[in-house]
Each structure stands twice: as structure tokens, then as C-alpha cells.
Amino acid sequence: MGKFPSWNCRQLDRRLREIGCVHERSTGSHRHYSNPFRPDRLITFSWHPGDVPRGIIADIVEDLGITRDQFYFGKF
């Protein structure tokens, strides 16, 4: 797989919930989710119109501690 596909905030929110993340709180336009694989880290991204930058998605996958293929295609 090459680059990370771009997703909008709703798609990213849906996938994080499928993986097992729970929306903990919001601060301004930033949403904070629990991390089921690394409880010491929160997943945070900004909720805005348009696509979430690919670099942010890559950082989220790294923070989760799973592979890119697991993030996009894995069943949890």
C-alpha cells in the first residue's frame, strides 16, 4: 500500500470507534479519544470540514501502535 488514503473527520471518527477508541472529551475543535492498545496515550485530532491531512492519520496509526493495514482493513 502506498500513501495513506485521505478521510474526512466523520470517516476517521467511525473507524476509531470500530477499533475500540472511546470519545473522551472535546476541547474547542479538538476531539480526544482513548487508545485501547496504549492506555497511556490519547488520540487527538482537529474536527474541521474537509479531509484530515494524511500526516495526521499516519500519526494516529503510529500512536495506536498498529500497522497501516490493520487500521484500514482490520476487524476489531
| Residue pLDDT, tens place only, 15-53 | 999 999 999 999 999 999 999 999 999 999 999 999 999
Rounded Cα gap, residues 62 and 26, in angstroms: 21
Give the pLDDT score at 74: 85
Give the pLDDT score at 63: 94
Rounded Cα gap, residues 24 and 6, in angstroms: 24
Is 13's pLDDT higher than 90? yes
Confidence label for 1 from pLDDT (cuts 50, 70 and 90): low
Domains of the chain by start residue, with CATH: 7-73 (3.30.920.30)
Give the pLDDT score at 3: 77
Give SS3 for 64. Answer: helix
Rounded Cα gap, residues 12 and 50, in angstroms: 12
H or E stretch at 68: helix 68-73
Is 2's pLDDT higher than 80? no
DSSP secondary structure letters along 34-65:
--SS-TT--EEEE--SSEEPHHHHHHHHHHHT
